[in-house]
Amino acid sequence: MKKNDKGITMLSLVVMLVVLMMLATITMYYGNSAMKEAKLQDLKTNMLLIQAAVKGDLEKYHFETSNLSDSEKISKKSQYLKGIPIENAESDIKVKFDALANNTEIQLKTQISDDYQQVGGKFDYYYLDTNTLSQLGLKDVQSNDENGYYIVAYSMNPNYSNIVEVINTKGYLGNYSLKRIEAL
Q: What local confidence, expressed as pLDDT, does residue 28 receive? A: 92
* CA–CA gap between residue 33 and residue 74 (Å, rounded): 46
Three-state secondary-structure class, residue 111? helix
The per-residue pLDDT string of the chain (184 residues; one tens digit each, 9 = 90 and over) reads 555 666 678 888 889 999 999 999 999 999 888 988 898 999 999 999 999 999 988 888 888 888 888 888 888 888 888 989 988 888 888 888 887 766 544 455 555 656 666 556 578 889 999 999 999 888 888 888 888 889 998 888 777 777 888 988 888 887 888 888 888 8
103 vs 174: CA distance, rounded Å: 11
pLDDT tens by residue, 22-47:
999 999 999 888 988 898 999 999 99
What pLDDT shows up at residue 105?
42
Res 24: pLDDT: 94
Q: How far apart are CA 171 and CA 181, in angstroms?
A: 8
What torsion do the CA atoms of 10, 15, 21, 25 make, to the nearest 10 degrees? 170
Whether the full predicted model's pTM is greater than 0.85, yes or no, is no
Distances (CA, A) of 88 to 59, 93, 98, 125, 140: 23, 10, 13, 11, 25
Q: Of 143, 142, 152, 178, give the one whose Cα is nearest residue 83.
A: 152
* Sheet arrangement for strand 150-155: 84-85, 123-128, 150-155, 164-172, 175-177
